[in-house]
Amino acid sequence: MDIERKHAELIDLFVKQAAVLDGPALAGLVLEVTSHPSLFAFSEILSVPNLAKLEGTQYSSSLDVLRLFAYGTWGDYRSNAGSLPALSSDQVRKLKQLSVLTLAETNKVLRYNQLMQELDVSNVRELEDFLINECMYAGIVRGKLDQLRTCFEVQFAAGRDLRPEQLNNMIQTLSNWLDTSDNLLYLIQEKIKWADTMSEATKKHRKEIEDKVEEVKKSLKKLNTLSRQTWTYEAMRTCSLNMED
């Protein structure tokens, strides 16, 4: 929670700065934002109206860079390097970190060969050092390096900014989840009602059995009393006959 709070405070600081800057100063802020070691979300900063004013100016490439860091990957930069400014070493590291997060959005097992290709890394040692030092120690991912299977098993990955085209999918996913939750809640309520009904039925059945047992006990008691009375009568009659003889 402390990391999230600090991240939110950092975003708020840059948003306030972007709101009062323009031109070269704003381009300088973009460089600072995309190089900051603790910042991995950029959409709030990108939404500041002053940033949109860079479009069509000599500083428009700074706006493109910010969009790249909000939604893109290292592979996207390599594909469009001719139309984008050169990145600093800090920016390159940050964009590669973001690329790992993008891969982890859809796959929980990341193959080394895929990571090496996406991150432009030449060997396994360099890849594992990057995952450990620049990703896990930074707190943006948690996972296990499996050298035997040559893969990285992702246990946790920080979320990236939603691309505009992802918003509808996210809304639909949340809507589906809400429908599923409502259906599950209904089923649970029905199960509770069924359990209550069965409980009442069980109590009623038990009472009926107990009543029948009591009736049998009373019948046996009456039968026992009657048997004793009959035995006494027969004994007295036998004794009387013996005396007459």
CA 2 to chain centre: 20
- Residues 116 and 169 reside in one and the same domain: no
Q: Which of 50, 54, 11 is nearest to 33 (CA)?
A: 11
Task: Check: CB of residue 160 under 8 Å from CB of residue 106.
Answer: no
- What's residue 164's pLDDT? 72
- Residues 131 and 63 reside in one and the same domain: no
Would you say residue 76 lies in a domain? no
Q: Which of 161, 180, 197 is the last residue of a domain?
A: 161
More confident residue, 217 or 65: 65
Per-residue pLDDT of 88-98, as tens digits, reads: 999 999 999 99
Query: Is residue 219 pLDDT above 90, yes or no?
Result: no
CATH of the domain at 128: 1.10.10.10
Query: Is residue 243 pLDDT above 60, yes or no?
Result: no
Would you say residue 41 lies in a domain? yes
More confident residue, 110 or 187: 110
- Residues 120 and 181 reside in one and the same domain: no
Query: Is residue 195 pLDDT above 90, yes or no?
Result: no
Per-residue pLDDT of 41-77, as tens digits, reads: 999 999 999 999 999 999 999 999 999 999 999 999 9
Would you say residue 78 lies in a domain? no
Residue with tokens 């069965």: 198
* Integer CA distances (angstroms), 210 to 43, 136, 157, 189, in order: 71, 67, 61, 32
Domain that holds residue 155: 89-161
Residue with tokens 């594992």: 128
More confident residue, 15 or 186: 15
- What's residue 212's pLDDT? 77
Number of domains the chain is built from: 3
Q: What span, in angstroms and rounded, lies between the C-alpha atoms of 91 and 99?
A: 12
Q: Which of 71, 102, 131 is the last residue of a domain?
A: 71
- Residues 143 and 209 reside in one and the same domain: no
- What's residue 15's pLDDT? 96
- List, in sequence order, every residue forming a beta bridge with 154; answer none if it has no partner: 143
More confident residue, 153 or 2: 153
